[in-house]
Amino acid sequence: MSVVDTINGLTRPSAGRRTTATRDPFAPRGVAKVLTHLIAAVCALVTMFPLYAMVILSLRRPGAVEFPASLVPWDLSVESFGLIFATPEVWRWMANTLVYALVSVVLILLISAMAGYAFAKRRFRGREVMFWSLVSMLMVPYQVTLIPLFILVARSGGVDTYWGLILPGLANVQAVFLMRQFIMGIPDDLIEAARIDGCGDWRIFARIVLPLCRPILATLGIFVFLWHWNDFLWPLLVGQDPAMRTLTTGIASLQAEQIPLSQVFAGSVVAFVPIFLAYLVGQRYITDNAVAVGIKG
């Protein structure tokens, strides 16, 4: 057999096996696949439209935004961003938001990890009752507890203070639940071996449990950062002094001050960029651990 015959034999489609070139694009599976991609593309466009509108309107010249506004990308300018960054209050709001988000992330991760370890690995009377009573609080709408919580904080002198902003959100039931589910997957034998070697609970928690929890801590950290960076209602109630506003409440106050709408949209873009970067950095942890915890749970 010649070399040409051999090559033809390798490239010729064998009987009973369909190649890509012979697939019928109008077969039912092909049509379903095209329809699926089409629907996904439409959903993606609908989801991305508010973001596109926000960016386009932020790039209009101050005073050029009138409703109904044109969303055609023409005559764009970054002048509104320059005006936003020239506003001293914006830097103060950004610092407040960073303090609020970062301190909340550190404390919530620490508290939820300790609570998750206790509920997952410690044996004490009433553990299950306490845990499921805690989880049942997830069914209580946040708005129901908002007013009593504000009265409590206000009478304790927490209005216009960082502790009044941060402290009430530290009891995060969702974080405790996720940490407990993840820590339950750590083998008991590993903890018992450390206990036999003379380690106490604090040492086991710090030296064994916490290092093994890095993936779920990274996921929770990103989620908590997003929640607090975007939080609006609680900072609006507690931060009544303009100097204690966060970015979300500060940008909302700009709209009330009758400044050009392009500046308001520019401020929204400035507030959006950090959480978008945080999501890009941690999206792999979010996806992997959400699936893992869901399967274990």
pLDDT at 10: 47
pLDDT at 297: 45
| CATH code, residues 81-294 | 1.10.3720.10
The pair of structure tokens assigned to 6 is 């051999």
pLDDT at 289: 60
Evaluated on CA atoms 282, 283, 289, 290, the torsion sign reads: positive
Count Cβ neighbours within 10 Å for each residue of 258-276 and write b for 16 or more, e otherwise: ebbbbbbbbbbbbbbebbe
Instruction: Please state the pTM of the whole predicted model.
Output: 0.76
CA distance 68 to 264: 16
Per-residue pLDDT in tens (0 to 9) along the chain, 297 residues: 444 454 455 445 444 444 555 566 566 677 888 889 899 999 989 988 888 888 888 888 777 666 677 777 777 788 888 888 888 888 899 999 999 999 999 999 999 999 999 999 888 888 889 888 888 888 888 788 888 899 999 999 889 899 999 998 898 888 999 899 899 988 888 888 888 888 888 888 898 898 888 888 888 888 898 889 888 889 999 988 888 899 888 888 877 777 777 888 888 888 888 888 887 877 777 666 655 555 454
pLDDT at 116: 92
pLDDT at 39: 92
Residues in the chain, overall count: 297
Residue ranges of the domains in the chain? 30-80, 81-294
